[in-house]
Amino acid sequence: MQNRRVIVAGAGLAGLSAAHELARRGAAVTLLDARERAGGRVWTVRDGFAHGQHAELGGEFIDEHHSRMRSLVERFGLELVQVLRGGFTHRFRRRGGDIVLSRSGPWEPLRDLLAPLIRRYQAARGRDEAAAIREMSTFSLRGWLHEQNADADVHAMVDSMRGFFLAEAQDLSVLPVVAQLAETGSPAVTPVYRIVGGMNRLIDALVAHTPARLLLRHQVRAVSQAADRILVRATDQGGHLQEIEGDALVVTLPATTLRDIEITPALPEDQQKAIARLRYGCATKVVVQCASPGWQRRRAKAFATDGALGAFWDATEGQPSASASIINFLGGGAASPRLAARGASGAGALLSELCWLDLAGSPVLGSCRATWEDDPFALGGYAYADPGFDPAWKPLLSRRAGRIVFGGEHTSEDFQGYMEGAVESGERAASELVRAVR
């Protein structure tokens, strides 16, 4: 790759990982991003918070088996702290109105109800192209539960899981739930970690250790490629059209925005269809800093609910100070607009709904929020498979097109929706280009 000119579209984790690997191999990298900051859907906010604390409005957790993320953390001398050791407690309302609290509640009955599909998945070895896998993907999770005559309590429990998949059970294919239970088990008990001091420490380290030309507030509009070069047209912060020429292009933009970019010659029809058909979940995140440190002493520090608040958890672990509590709220799927509306009424209104945790009335020191489906450069939280997305299309999302290679969490084979998937896809895209020029 020595002296090869590579353009990377998107300065999120996928784009930064690709740029970092390519620059290490001698490529001359130009990194473009439409935002005024690097990081994409990883976004740490520090302004407006007391005691040196911060908020994570995007990606936050690193699972124990996320080896690429852990390797980057180690490479740059950062520190991980294990958080939420008690996992998530699910809180949902039964048909009779009773409130149920259970750590593993939704996953155990789901495993029983999905047992026939789990056996079928395992027999097919999880191969996306297998007929059995493709057939089961056409069921929605809600549809399968109806087929199994699941009772109302199970449906309520499933609604409390929308913060994990960012989709409603009727919109989500049953396949990713089957895959989760067959391969990893319940995510409620998976050990998770945060980067001490904030996720943007990793973003800043990648930028600092990647010798690349970083052009922020440059939005890619069109791409054209010839036999010997590629040309990217982007509008800069002043609205002026810029043309950037290179030998190859890595595209790590979400499918939601990639499908609006004019690519000449056009991508094959089947690849365009896969990109156009992929859906992204709705996600609102609200972070509240309150003066009361009381919740930090509680054993249960994270809850997933079927209500308007969605999921919420103590985010104080890993902060530079425990003088105040940081509480993160995540509304996925239908909970996203509801949480956004409540957040617009003020952080105190959110805390007032947590009287059962003795947080109502706690003085608010700071807050911030983001609704990712309203973000013009994301248009959603992360990718998910609905019943209309054929799993056999998945390889099309990352299939090379001439001088263009594709990355982004949505192209990851095993970690779609995770920061690990973003890093995996960026490193894979870089390796693909390196192999191509040998």
Q: What value, to the nearest 5°, has the Cα angle with vertex 14 and ends 11 and 19? A: 65
Confidence bin at 296 (pLDDT 50/70/90): low
Task: Give the tens place of pLDDT for each residue, 337-392.
Answer: 999 999 998 898 888 888 777 777 789 999 999 999 999 999 999 999 999 999 99
Domains in the chain: ranges and CATH: 5-40+200-277+392-436 (3.50.50.60), 89-189 (1.10.405)
Q: Rounded CA gap, 307 and 322, in Å?
A: 28
Task: Give the tens place of pLDDT for each residue, 381-400.
Answer: 999 999 999 999 999 999 99
pLDDT of residue 207: 98
pLDDT of residue 125: 93
Lowest mean pLDDT among 38-47, 81-90, 100-109, 115-124: 100-109
Q: For residue 395, what is the DSSP state?
A: G
**The pair of three-digit structure tokens given for residue 318, joined into one six-digit string:** 């890993």
Q: Is the confidence at residue 293, as pLDDT, over 80?
A: no
Contact predicate 202/43, CB 8 Å: no
Going from the C-alpha of 111 to that of each of 151, 177, 186, the distances in angstroms are 15, 9, 9
Q: Is the confidence at residue 33, as pLDDT, over 90?
A: yes
**The pair of three-digit structure tokens given for residue 348, joined into one six-digit string:** 């105190």
Task: Give the tens place of pLDDT for each residue, 166-185.
Answer: 999 999 999 999 998 998 77
Confidence bin at 307 (pLDDT 50/70/90): confident
Return the axis-axis angle of helices 67-75 and 419-436, rounded to nearest 10°.
Answer: 80
* Phi, psi values for residue 111, rounded to 5°: -60, -40
Of the candidates 73, 68, 71, 77, the one whose C-alpha atom is nearest the C-alpha of residue 427 is: 68
Give the distance, in angstroms, between the CA of residue 47 and the centroid of all CA atoms in the same chain.
23
**The pair of three-digit structure tokens given for residue 333, joined into one six-digit string:** 């799927």
Contact predicate 335/165, CB 8 Å: no
Residues linked to residue 246 through DSSP beta bridges, in sequence order: 230
pTM: 0.95
Q: Report the amino acid identity of residue 40.
A: G
3-state secondary structure of 378: coil
Q: Is the confidence at residue 93, as pLDDT, over 90?
A: no
3-state secondary structure of 115: helix
